[in-house]
Structure 1
């Protein structure tokens, strides 16, 4: 992922537009003064839920994605976006990445943390 002005950045427009065009998600949020976006929420619709459920029944290997999402939610806990961003910057490898640079992988650190979570 690329480090940009406000942290990690990945273009999601194409993927999200496909999901939205099929009514699989809703994109909502909160705007402040001058129409500045303060929060963006991506909400799974009933249609999206039904398709995910059918896909999982047809291809059980897709459970992997639900499991990963559950782990991400467990790690994030009740922290919001700002707190999570601050946590990212506590990692030297993240904070020291130059703007426009590729943020180094933390795969091994995540595996260790995952093992710790699974043992709890």
Structure 2
């Protein structure tokens, strides 16, 4: 049903299954935590080198990766709190460029926030032995899905970036997304993303709209404020 819903929404930039697979591979590699001893005791996970726990977390991290305008706007939010110049600069690098337009692949507004079917892309990774999925819970109730990067998957990810440097974009943005998430779980990330009006008010089954215009105006206002504060400090 979700795939039917996704395909019925017009005028949205489309990625191929292979593009999605590479993006998710680099995301799982960059966002993965170290597997526990209990994880590695699983016969199928003996060569796992990283894990992203829960599909919710994977989806929410992927949302920022697919929507640079939202990523930049969140950097501005953190800048307002911390006043770290690097955050303002990073947001500016995104918003001063065409990245929010050319790198944006909007996601559907689903029952519980942003959602995009990942089964096809994950099937590519799983069938190639790059990622292993484990269901947690009982036979009648799956509590969560965890995604393990295998040693082979890690090697392939490194080779992809080495042979096609264009994918280094995702490596850099994944690092930024992970730093922004700062250890938040999937539910906490969802709550943070719901603070965005465009995200929260999107009708179910529609693509979540861009915030690039608002974010760029916000960037200019914060730059002006920063310049004013700097001038006052010098006087």
User: Same fold per TM (> 0.5)?
Assistant: yes
Is it true that 1:13 corresponds to 2:115 in the alignment?
A: no
Per-residue deviation at 1:42? Answer: 1.7
CA RMSD of aligned residues (A): 2.1
Secondary structure, aligned partner of 2:208 = coil
Per-residue deviation at 1:87? Answer: 0.7
Q: How many residue pairs were aligned?
A: 110
After superposition, the C-alpha distances for 1:74-101 in whole angstroms (9 at most, x for unaligned) are 0100110000011111111111111112
**2 CA distance for matches of 1:53 and 1:98?**
39
**Larger of the two Rg values belongs to structure:** 2
More helix, by proportion? 2
User: Which residue number in structure 2 is paired with residue 86 of structure 1?
Assistant: 191
Secondary structure, aligned partner of 2:117 = coil
Q: 1:16 to 1:34 in 2, by over 3 A?
A: same
Structure 2: gaps spanning 5 or more residues: 1-106, 220-235
After superposition, the C-alpha distances for 1:1-54 in whole angstroms (9 at most, x for unaligned) are 1111121110111100011000010112532684232x3222211111111112
8 Å CA contact 2:135–2:142 kept in 1: the answer is: no
Structure 1: gaps spanning 5 or more residues: 113-120
